[in-house]
Amino acid sequence: MPKTAAVFAQEPNADLGDFKLTRRKHRINIVVKTKDGSRVTNAKVYIEGAGDDFKRTNTQGEARFEFVNNSKTNFNVFVTNDIAKYRAKPKENSTSPIVGAQAGIAFMPTSLNNVNSEDDQVLRTVVVEVDRANLLAGKVTLAADGTALQGARVYLEQGAGANSESETETDANGDYSILVPQPRAASPLLPGNALKIKVTASYHAQNRTFVGESKSIAVQRDVTEQTLDFKINELNDIDLSQLYGFNVRINKLEQRQEGEYLVSGDLVDLPENSDFKDDKFGGQELQLRFKNIVIKKSGLVNNRQVAKGVPADEKIDLLEKNIRIAAFKSYKAQLLGAEQFISIRRGENDTTGSIEGKVRIVDNSFNFPSSYMTISNQDFYLGRYADGSPAKMNIEVFRSNASTKGRKYTISKDQGKAIQFKYLGFDGESGIDGARESYMKDDSIHLFLTLKTTIQGNIPLRIIAGKAIITKDMLLPVRSNEPLEFQLEKWKVQSRSWVLAPNSGGIVLNEGKIFTNKADLNMRKMSIIPGELIFDKTDNVSQQLTVGGKANIPLHLNQGTELVFSYDADVGNIPGKGHFKFTLRNDNGEAAFLEKLPGMTHQGDRIQIGYISVLSNDEEVFGFSQSAKPITLQSQLSFTPGSFFSKPDGLTMNGTVNLHLPKLLDNINGSISYTASESGVPKLSIAPLSFSFTGDGGTRFKTIAAAGGQLYGGRGLGIAGMIQMPGTDIGIKANLVSMVTSSVQGEGAPAGVAGEAKAFAEAVVSQAADEAKKQAEIVIGEYRKQGEEYAAQLLDEVMKDENVRQTREFIENNLKTANDTYNEVMKLGQDGKQYYDQIAAKMRLAGTGMNAINSMIDGNPIGGFLQLNGVLRGALGIDIVDVAKQKTKQVAMQAVKAIQEELPVDNLADGMAKNGGGFSGAKFDYDFKTGRMFGALSMPRLVAGAVILSKVELEMLFEKEGWYFFAGADVLAPVPLIFPLAVGIGIGDHNTVTPQMEAKFTSQSYVKKLPKIFKENGFHGFLFTGRKDIIPETHFAVNFVVADFEVGFGAGFDARIYGSFNKASQEIGVGAMLFAHAYARMAVLGGVCGVSGSVDAEVGVKAKFANTGGDPSFQVMGCFSANIGARVWCAFVDESIDIGVMGKLTLCAGSSCNKGVEFEFTRNSGSCSKDPDFDY
């Protein structure tokens, strides 16, 4: 029977004539004859798959069947007769032939399995040979009292137990009759006389235990009917009527020790449920055999108070490996052992259980032609739905205590693999997991289809289709309003809806798109049949070009553009291999363009495409117009496209971006895309830009990768990043915010969007990006709130327009999630114990104020420098938060020291300056890498009531080695004899004493050296110094014509108190010193000759208490020194004389003293204030 028809049309729209279609059917002629060649009349014939009805053979022994079925190799034929049921009561030892209502040849019921047949209308003859039969009759009674048993099962042992093809049940009188094989002659000359057979009878009644009987008998060839009676025994001490809730007939029982029984028999009367039941093919009822099961008495009793027997094992393997069952309402199925044998398993208690195994749906269950779907070479197995365990295919089929209702079963090949089949000409494969797990429920199969075929050029298609619903008699059309998509080599094809049915002529795709990766071809209708992809010739492709898939962006063709879309059998890099081809070209070099897309804010901007030529294998030739110009996006970005990708989910273009900001490159790599939105207007997305630049003053900004870290709108943009100040490797979170301060259109926002978001989306009046007026800044924290605190005041143009101000707040609020700059900390030094927080900063990149002058520091423009405010925390030994909170102003200027930044400190003491200047404008240096802060402040005059301080100076140092603080001044108070007085105070905790520290700490003292304890152990304590000039330094001079005369003198008092508190030693000391000096000088003849002389005297005393390593001591030291000097010179003569004496007395008490009293007197030119041995 041909499956296709070929027609050659002479011209389009030609009449193809009539086609005669014939429904596909199987035609089988069954011939029943005996093995000796006699045709059997009136035999009852069943074919599994040809319906439930039987046919009887005619006088020629033939029965003809015509039917529709999908199977080709799996038809089972069963032939039986009714002679045993309609026999007349025979005379005893009668040898007459069998007679009755259905007289004919008596034969043994016979099966013929796996008969082949094609549904091609060809009549096939199948011969079934049967054995002639004799009749065996008898009675079944109870052994105890001879009571006749109705319903006892009697069957011929054929190796299948009670599933024998020759079986029956006793009537009300306990009588039975069955057919048994007639002995056959070995040859015509040697006739057979007898055939030994075995017959079994068994009986079941609830709550009682009956043990069947098996007997052997020799069937005589010449005796057409013989008699065999059975006696059934009953046990009264145990109830073995059920096995885990299933009814049983016991054929054999052996009592063992300790109350156990060894039992063999059949499970009978299996309970039906909505999913599975006994098939009863040809009138045969299902029996399940078990053998040698160990049974023991339980604590349960029946209504006769007899103990119930229960199996010793919770799982019992039966003797059957597979049996015939019915699945759902109309499917034929097989129950197979999950491993080898079908099993019964204990339920929740000893009286319940289930029969389990694998279930196979037989392919002859489907009554539709094989042209619809070919599954004859496949097995459909049921399994546990959505179960990933190894036991997935082992399911519960029958349950003794409850009815199984409407379960959903996965359907697959054995071991859970996908089913392979032919579906309306397509190669098919079923889905087996996840949302596409095929299943069977009630009376229908739900197959999730993956269809395969090849089309022009042997191009393979693989289509993940929808769900096919298959019933016993038909394939329902597969329709879907969900999109269908598949790959056409490297192209993608989608359709909004589709249908596949036996009468649809293949897969019909409606409202489809072909995505060529450059342009989208909108096709009203396409069809796929095995071997070909067909397009509707009425589609006008040139009027329906779009890009970006769901974004649905119109692609406009320039006048004169040529469009080609076709299958080319010889195109591409591989000769002889065809592909689909799409081409756009124009002689003027501009084939198509995009315009008026969201975000394109410069009127007249176009993305000009020069040419497109693309094959379905992704070979392409593509280029933008050579005269194309950059487009303006979001008012302040210039974008130059370099590559173009149109995908089903949107359009993407890669290229270069210019933000038109100083210091930035004008060719930053960038990417923009357009995707679909709920409003129908394509949505613009600008991929995060990655760039860095170094601004004025050496501050470096670098973008960071963070979700939501870059925002682009018509009025402004925000970019998250980090800054690094010059000379440091510390990174601080910062955001670049650029706002367009030009007037706006007010029409660019999507409908329904209000407030800040609407303003954010609006575009400026049409102008190129490089012409937009804007204010761009790097900002950190509360930079606006602390604006008045910066070293330079810059005009904020954004505040002039309320909409622009709202937009900036919208951008900054949305950037907080990605890059919160409000809690930044700047560490000083590697240990991080000193740090700078509450940071607020800004650095202007574009806009007004770039030439703002830094009058506080150096008078230079700092508008483009980073200006930063904050609070210093954790400075060693001093917390200056309360003193300088929000009053420190930092400007990052690379012109200052290479790794330092200058920090002006404002108005620490201006309130008492009395027009003397105060501390305003004093400077500190920060070294962020080492954490060192050094400051030196001074002021000429400070008035505090009646007390006047002059020559005030302050110095402090904070670094990892320690810290110190020194202050000194000349003090004038209305107390005669004491004031004026020079005083100094130094406190600190520093490991080393440098010459600079010593000079600073003794700057207010007559003696310019520190106590030895500080030089040896570091400065860990305090020092107070005071100096009183009793006779202020006085001198006068007289100049004569021939001689000059000068005299000077002075005297004063110096005192100090100090304490050193090192861990190893502690020392407290008090010292005082008187000093006086005078000099005289006279010179004549302009200094050619002269004489001079001087006298210096010092008397000092010191007392100190020391404790070194737990050894205390007290020491008093005294020192006096006097020095007289004279000099005479004239012309070439110069003579001088110096005479000096110094005496030192030391008194010491304590365990650490070497000597109690020590006196030393020397003649030299030394002095007490400079002598290293006098520890003043």
Q: What is the pLDDT of residues 346-380, one digit of tens each?
A: 999 999 999 999 999 988 888 888 778 877 567 78
Given a contact cutoff of 8 angstroms between Cβ atoms, the answer to whether 410 and 436 are in contact is: no
Torsion 1062-1064-1069-1075 (CA) sign: negative
Q: Are residues 615 and 733 in the same domain?
A: no
Q: Which segment of 389-403, 555-569, 762-776 scores lowest on mean pLDDT?
A: 762-776
Q: What's the pLDDT score for residue 94? A: 43
Tell me: pLDDT of 872 over 80. no
Q: Are residues 668 and 699 in the same domain?
A: no
Tell me: pLDDT of 83 over 90. no
Closest-CA residue to 372 (of 69, 50, 27)? 69
Q: What's the pLDDT score for residue 922? A: 47
Q: Which segment of 144-148, 669-673, 731-735, 800-804 scores lowest on mean pLDDT?
A: 800-804
The DSSP bridge pattern shows strands 225-227 and 133-142 to be: parallel
In a domain, 330, yes or no: no
> How many angstroms from the chain centroid is the CA of residue 267?
55
Q: What's the pLDDT score for residue 44? A: 92
Q: Which of 512, 538, 564 is the last residue of a domain?
A: 538
CA 123 vs CA 118, 155, 929: distances in Å: 9, 37, 100
Alpha-carbon gap, residue 469 to 737, rounded angstroms:
59
What are the pLDDT digits (tens) for 418-427? 988 888 888 8
Q: What's the pLDDT score for residue 760? A: 76
Q: Are residues 745 and 675 in the same domain?
A: no
Task: Give the position of tokens 């004539």.
Answer: 17
Q: Are residues 794 and 897 in the same domain?
A: yes
Alpha-carbon gap, residue 400 to 57, rounded angstroms:
41
Q: What's the pLDDT score for residue 319? A: 93
Given a contact cutoff of 8 angstroms between Cβ atoms, the answer to whether 763 and 836 are in contact is: no
The proportion of the chain whose per-residue pLDDT surpasses 70, expressed as a percent, equals: 84
Q: What's the pLDDT score for residue 89? A: 43
Q: Are residues 972 and 1033 in the same domain?
A: no
Q: How confident is the model at residue 597 (pLDDT cuts 50, 70, 90)?
A: very high
Q: What's the pLDDT score for residue 101? A: 38
Q: What's the pLDDT score for residue 165? A: 84
Number of domain units in the chain:
7
Q: Are residues 492 and 600 in the same domain?
A: no
Q: Are residues 745 and 880 in the same domain?
A: yes
Amino acid symbol at 927: D
Q: How confident is the model at residue 1151 (pLDDT cuts 50, 70, 90)?
A: confident
Q: How confident is the model at residue 638 (pLDDT cuts 50, 70, 90)?
A: very high
Tell me: pLDDT of 90 over 50. no
In a domain, 1058, yes or no: yes
Q: Which segment of 133-147, 1034-1048, 1062-1076 scores lowest on mean pLDDT?
A: 1034-1048
State phi, psi for 159 to the nearest 5 degrees.
Answer: 95, -5
Q: Are residues 815 and 698 in the same domain?
A: yes
DSSP E strands in 121-174: the ranges are 123-130, 133-142, 153-156, 167-169
Q: Are residues 573 and 621 in the same domain?
A: yes
Given a contact cutoff of 8 angstroms between Cβ atoms, the answer to whether 488 and 512 are in contact is: no
Q: How confident is the model at residue 186 (pLDDT cuts 50, 70, 90)?
A: low
What are the pLDDT digits (tens) for 32-53? 999 999 999 999 999 988 887 8
Tell me: pLDDT of 986 over 50. yes
681 versus 767: the higher-pLDDT residue is 681
In a domain, 378, yes or no: no
Report the phi/psi class of residue 737: left, alpha or beta, with left for phi > 0 and alpha for psi in -120 to 50.
beta
In a domain, 544, yes or no: yes
What are the pLDDT digits (tens) for 815-853? 999 999 998 888 776 666 777 788 888 889 998 877 776
In what helix (H) or strand (E) does residue 655 lie, and over which residues does it extend?
strand 650-658
913 versus 974: the higher-pLDDT residue is 974
Tell me: pLDDT of 66 over 90. yes
Q: How confident is the model at residue 917 (pLDDT cuts 50, 70, 90)?
A: very low
Q: Which segment of 62-71, 460-469, 498-507, 776-785 scores lowest on mean pLDDT?
A: 498-507
875 versus 996: the higher-pLDDT residue is 996
Task: Give the position of tokens 């102003």.
Answer: 889
Q: What's the pLDDT score for residue 916? A: 44
In a domain, 263, yes or no: no
Q: Are residues 680 and 693 in the same domain?
A: no
Q: What is the mean pLDDT of residues 1094-1121?
A: 90
In a domain, 680, yes or no: yes
Alpha-carbon gap, residue 519 to 535, rounded angstroms:
17
Q: How confident is the model at residue 395 (pLDDT cuts 50, 70, 90)?
A: very high
In a domain, 500, yes or no: yes
Average pLDDT, the chain: 84
pTM: 0.57
Burial class (CB in 10 A: 0-12, 13-18, 19+), 536: exposed
What are the pLDDT digits (tens) for 473-496? 888 888 877 788 889 999 999 888
Q: What is the mean pLDDT of residues 937-962?
A: 73
Q: What is the mean pLDDT of residues 1083-1107?
A: 89
Q: What's the pLDDT score for residue 783? A: 85
Give the domain extent around 737.
688-902
Q: Which of 212, 234, 256 is the last residue of a domain?
A: 234
In a domain, 45, yes or no: yes
Tell me: pLDDT of 881 over 50. no
Q: Are residues 969 and 1012 in the same domain?
A: no
Tell me: pLDDT of 656 over 90. yes
Q: What's the pLDDT score for residue 926? A: 59
Q: How confident is the model at residue 893 (pLDDT cuts 50, 70, 90)?
A: very low
First-to-last alpha carbon distance for the chain, in angstroms, is 130
Q: What's the pLDDT score for residue 1044? A: 86
Q: Which of 479, 509, 538 is the last residue of a domain?
A: 538
Q: What's the pLDDT score for residue 62? A: 96
Side-chain half-sphere exposure of 368, counting CA atoms within 13 A: 15
Tell me: pLDDT of 160 over 80. no
Q: Are residues 1151 and 1006 in the same domain?
A: yes
The DSSP bridge pattern shows strands 439-441 and 444-455 to be: antiparallel
What are the pLDDT digits (tens) for 291-338? 999 999 998 999 999 999 999 999 999 999 999 899 988 889 999 999
Q: What is 519-577 written as a DSSP string?
A: -EEEEEEEEEETTEEEE-TT--GGGSEEESGGG-EE-EEPTT-EEEEEEESS-SSSTT-
Q: What's the pLDDT score for residue 52? A: 78
